[in-house]
């Protein structure tokens, strides 16, 4: 029987969570207190991830929320610093993606990601070519855990939901995928994911034993 399709999250699974150094650089670039900055950064992020605004528009919204103004030069610096803070990837997981593709397994990608960061990944990471479907939230208009994001992937992959294993490091995203009929795996380590894939291929398709939870990442 043809192996099932694996649908990967990006940040926290294939790419590293936002770096501590990058977070500090963002706060310094913005020039506002860290608590206020992060409250605003995440509060107005969802429309940016869904492609409803561009980078300059997003950073103007952040500025409005913290009661300041960012000029064009600072906005450009914030966009570049934000991209850099999310740019590191997990080499072990990239190798797994390449291995799965070489074995003929269909793989997809579903990520909450704004357009500027999506363009960066598309132009800097050739391994994205291995994915049968790259569902960037900014381009499909839906972000996890909205069920519409998972339904979009199911249609794009042309697979029935039970033939798709969704891998994410956030439990709420995994549960949302399972609610649409997909199988789910809460990512903790590459070794545990390999074990889950082996069990799935062997026909052991029951509920996934969830490992320890990692700090939240956007997707």
Identify whether 64 is part of a domain.
yes
Output the pLDDT for position 212.
Answer: 32
Claim to verify: residue 143 and residue 94 sit in the same structural domain: yes
Instruction: Give the tens place of pLDDT for each residue, 102-157.
Output: 999 999 999 999 999 999 999 999 999 999 999 999 999 999 999 999 999 999 99
Claim to verify: residue 192 and residue 98 sit in the same structural domain: yes
* Residue tagged 């914030």 (tokens): 78
With beta carbons less than 8 A apart as the criterion, state whether 148 and 172 touch. no
How far is 202 from 190, CA to CA, in rounded Å? 18
Task: Tokens for 28, please give them.
Answer: 């310094």
Alpha helices, DSSP H, located in the chain: 20-30, 34-43, 45-49, 55-66, 72-85, 91-102, 115-124, 137-140, 147-157, 171-179, 190-201
Output the pLDDT for position 3.
Answer: 85
* Residue tagged 């500090």 (tokens): 24
Identify whether 216 is part of a domain.
no
Output the pLDDT for position 213.
Answer: 36
- What is the end-to-end Cα distance of the chain in Å, rounded? 31
Claim to verify: residue 104 and residue 181 sit in the same structural domain: yes
Q: Which of 50, 85, 120 is the last residue of a domain?
A: 85
User: In Å, how far from its chain's centre is CA 99?
Assistant: 20
Output the pLDDT for position 219.
Answer: 55
Claim to verify: residue 55 and residue 93 sit in the same structural domain: no
Structural domain for 113, as ranges? 5-16+89-201
Identify whether 68 is part of a domain.
yes
Claim to verify: residue 184 and residue 96 sit in the same structural domain: yes
Output the pLDDT for position 203.
Answer: 83
Burial 83-121 (b: 16+ CB within 10 A, else e): bebbbebbeebbebbeebbeeebbbbbbbbbbbbbbebb
Q: How many CA atoms lie within 13 A of 178 on its CB side?
A: 16
- Would the pLDDT of 211 be above 50? no
> Is the previous residue joined to 146 through a cis bond, with omega within 30 degrees of 0?
no
- How many structural domains compose the chain? 2
Instruction: Give the tens place of pLDDT for each residue, 164-208.
Output: 999 999 999 999 999 999 999 999 999 999 999 999 988 865 444
Going by C-alpha positions, the residue among 59, 61, 62, 83 that lies closest to residue 72 is 59
How far is 58 from 26, CA to CA, in rounded Å? 14
Q: What is the mean pLDDT of residues 63-70?
A: 97
């Amino acid at each position: 029987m043809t192996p099932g399709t694996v649908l990967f999250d990006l940040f926290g699974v294939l790419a590293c969570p936002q770096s501590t150094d990058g977070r500090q650089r963002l706060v310094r670039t913005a020039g506002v207190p860290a608590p206020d900055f992060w409250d605003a950064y995440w509060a107005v992020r969802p429309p940016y991830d869904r492609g409803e605004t561009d980078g300059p528009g997003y950073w103007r919204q952040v500025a409005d929320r913290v009661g300041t103004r960012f000029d064009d030069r600072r906005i450009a610096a914030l966009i570049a610093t934000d991209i850099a803070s999310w740019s590191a990837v997990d080499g072990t997981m990239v190798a797994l993606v390449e291995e799965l593709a070489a074995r003929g397994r269909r793989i997809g990608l579903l990520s909450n990601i704004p357009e500027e960061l999506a363009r960066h990944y598309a132009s800097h990471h050739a391994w994205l070519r291995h994915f049968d479907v790259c569902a960037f939230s900014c381009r499909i208009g839906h972000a996890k855990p909205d069920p519409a994001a998972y339904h979009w992937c199911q249609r794009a992959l042309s697979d029935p939901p039970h033939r798709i294993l969704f891998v994410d490091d956030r439990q709420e995203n995994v549960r949302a995928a399972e609610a649409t009929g997909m199988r789910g795996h809460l990512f903790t380590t590459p070794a545990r994911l390999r074990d889950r894939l082996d069990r799935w291929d062997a026909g052991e398709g029951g509920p996934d034993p969830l490992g320890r939870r990692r700090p939240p990442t956007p997707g």
